[in-house]
Amino acid sequence: MNLLPKTKEEFSQKEYWDAFFKKRGNKAFEWYGEYPELSKYLHKYVKVQDEVLIVGCGNSTLGRDLYDVGCRNITNIDISNVVIRQMLSQNDKERPGLKYLQMDALNTTFTDDQFSVIIDKGTLDALMPDDSPETIERIDTYFCEIQRILKTAGRYICISLLQEHILEKCLNYFPANNWMFRAVRCFESEAKAVENGESPMPTFMVVCTKFKKLPMKVLEINLGSQDKMQKCETIEDLTEHIASAQKAAFVCSSLKKSNIGGDNEISMEIFDQSNQTQPRYTIYIVETAPEKANASYAAFIVPEGRESEWLFSTKAGRSNLVKASNNTRLSIVTMHRGQKYESLEAVKQELADIVCNLAPANLSTRKIPFLTLGSDLGKRTVIYEGTSYFTGDYVIEDVEHEDGQKYRRLFFLSSQLVIQSEAKLKTIRARNGKRKTIVDLASLTCPHHIYMNIPAYMVANDKKDAKIAILGLGGGAQCSFMHKLLPQADITGVDIDSEMLKIATQWFDFKPDDKLKAKIQDGLEYIMELAKADEQIDALLLDVDSKNTTIGMSCPPKEFLSTEILGAIAKITGKTGIFVANLVIRDSNIRPGVLASLKTHFSKIISYKLTEDLNEVCICTNMDVSAKDFIANLSKASESLNSFFKRNHVSDDVDIVEYVKSLKINS
């Protein structure tokens, strides 16, 4: 038997509801939850001595439930005479004084200021199927009637799905007429719907309190499971919070019904009720093709401080993680800096309901397994916070992995998931016998730096006073490593931002000397100065990020690939030097144009694409040597680099066979 309206307009028609209740009979029909799920919220605003009116009561048991817990002054009204007769026959003897009246909520016969509480459970949603002029006029009449019959300091309690047009109308009417406005999410009614095998939508209890005059708008929400109200500064803020909750609920509901499809990944941010400006968690829901041996679902908590690593910060990495976990669907949870987390168990408890809501429908248990690395939340220690004129706020953190290895990282807060500079830390015993932590200058943690060093070593190793310039100082790790690798070479790190030199020297053990220098200058100007002075350089390494995140290439900035600059680079590297650029191209359509520009100025372009991220190391030269010999020389340089790592007890190394095989000749 189909008891749902055929069209939304039927919700507001008397004939529909008469037919509905004849079909339904004596079985109660509860909109948005029953009394047990709503009682915790209702009894904050409904007291036993209140004069209560329930509008559009239908055959809900809410009136008699309130009566049974001591509320004796309850009047129920409904437009359908059929349901009023039904309810009277059910309650007349057992609940004397519980009133049921056939009456139109838009045109009641009650006196002014008669009620202290008016309860609307789904009636507003039924009366307002759209925002047409006719509907708006009807709702204005309804709200005016509520205002007339409700006492000052009385509460209009509306249980609603708060569709966009309904929320907008409520916010336009009540705050403007000196009513305090609260919206509380009713999680229990949603949980009950899930328990019954239904697809829940977020249910809200709106509490509007009538006042004669308020000094300012009072707008409050509680969208969390705890009893905390949050004040909203504007109507727009409140609307945005509710819309976000509804969108998230829609995602959860969709995930119950089907696979993700498409790119096989979606994400959402989770906020603490007390701080809805900064996210507390980000959750990535990732799927892979189902296999018989796989479990259906689990959650993975990324240790604090590890969220920026390739495995967790990139789509490709997360795809690998879900496959390695042997699950078909994985919720990957990352924590945010600036938030406090008590323990791994506390985080699991906090996330339990959320990850359950993201589970597939075929899950046979509500106990979701939590996976992580190690046995704790990880360790993230902020050691310095600063501000740069060019990049804004930044933070330097020490992060400890589960194996005890520590790393120091520089982040710009404008792009918090991108590690701008990173160094491995090691503990040594000082001369005074005490142990101290220092930066391991013989190790490189950014893989693309290793592959930028190979061609630089190739051209500079046999020269006594080789000249190498690195554009993009950052934390100085690349410059410091090359100084240790090629102590005879003159190495200059160039950066436009003087704050980077401060960071490098104070926090990353960058120590300039007669062979290692830092120059604070715009890299473009530096290149042009060298060209005008007819200076020759053996290797120019370009590792500079673009500050424009809207384009498809984040490294280098497009200005470095202009005809003028590339011509100047070709001039200063001449017939014996090389130009090495770190390319990070997110839009594959851009790459052919970049290569075409490089080919205009260099006879040979050999590139190596890293498998685990977007970095592509592009080696450009006008050397008079065959591509075969050039690659053979790169292979020898790789062997020397591996020997350097071994001598310095560094676990890094180059898979030479894979490296040579993957080199691509673009000229």
pLDDT score, position 2: 34
Q: Provide the 3-class DSSP secondary structure of residue 358.
A: coil
State the chain's mean pLDDT as an integer. 88
Rounded distance between C-alpha atoms, residue 416 and residue 411, angstroms:
6
Note the pLDDT tens digit of each residue in 332-362: 999 998 888 988 889 998 888 888 888 887 7
Token pair for 337: 């800096």
pLDDT score, position 379: 82
Q: Check if the beta carbon of residue 296 is closer than 8 Å to that of residue 329.
A: yes
* Domains recognised in the chain with CATH numbers: 9-250 (3.40.50.150), 258-372 (3.40.50), 447-665 (3.40.50.150)
Rounded distance between C-alpha atoms, residue 572 and residue 365, angstroms:
67
Indicate if the alpha-carbon torsion angle 145, 149, 154, 160 is positive or negative: negative
pLDDT score, position 276: 63
pLDDT score, position 279: 84
Rounded distance between C-alpha atoms, residue 217 and residue 170, angstroms:
13
Q: Check if the beta carbon of residue 355 is closer than 8 Å to that of residue 366.
A: no
Helix H segments across 186-338? 187-195, 235-257, 310-313, 315-324
Q: Check if the beta carbon of residue 146 is closer than 8 Å to that of residue 158.
A: no
Query: Would you place residue 523 in the very low, low, confident or very high pLDDT band (cuts 50, 70, 90)?
Result: very high
pTM above 0.85, yes or no: no
Token pair for 537: 């350089």
Mention every residue, 6+ apart, whose C-beta is less than 8 A from residue 550: none
The two beta strands, 490-495 and 467-471, are parallel
Rounded distance between C-alpha atoms, residue 599 and residue 118, angstroms:
76
Token pair for 619: 């080696």
Token pair for 604: 């040979």
Q: Check if the beta carbon of residue 612 is closer than 8 Å to that of residue 649.
A: no
pLDDT score, position 262: 56
Spatial CA neighbour of 264 closest among 238, 290, 233, 237: 290
Q: How many CB atoms lie within 10 A of CB 163?
A: 16
pLDDT score, position 16: 60
Rounded distance between C-alpha atoms, residue 405 and residue 445, angstroms:
12
Asked if residue 555 has pLDDT above 60, the reply is yes
Query: Would you place residue 250 in the very low, low, confident or very high pLDDT band (cuts 50, 70, 90)?
Result: confident
Asked if residue 457 has pLDDT above 80, the reply is yes
Token pair for 281: 């968690």
pLDDT score, position 75: 96
Rounded distance between C-alpha atoms, residue 18 and residue 288, angstroms:
50
pLDDT score, position 537: 96
Token pair for 326: 């042997």
Note the pLDDT tens digit of each residue in 373-403: 877 778 888 999 999 998 899 999 999 888 8
Rounded distance between C-alpha atoms, residue 55 and residue 121, angstroms:
8
pLDDT score, position 364: 60
Spatial CA neighbour of 100 closest among 90, 87, 112, 119: 87
Q: Check if the beta carbon of residue 451 is closer than 8 Å to that of residue 610.
A: yes
Integer-rounded Cα Rg, in Å, for the chain is 34
Token pair for 234: 């504007």
- Lowest average pLDDT, out of 256-260, 349-353, 464-468, goes to 256-260
Asked if residue 235 has pLDDT above 50, the reply is yes
Helix H segments across 394-443? none
Spatial CA neighbour of 301 closest among 252, 368, 359, 362: 368
Q: Check if the beta carbon of residue 658 is closer than 8 Å to that of residue 612.
A: no
The strands making up 295-301's β-sheet, listed across from edge to edge, are 265-272, 275-287, 327-335, 295-301, 370-372
Q: How many CB atoms lie within 10 A of CB 536?
A: 14
DSSP for 170-193, please give it.
HHHHTGGGTEEEEEEE-HHHHHHH
E strand segments, 451-535: 467-471, 490-495, 516-520
Q: Check if the beta carbon of residue 154 is closer than 8 Å to that of residue 110.
A: no
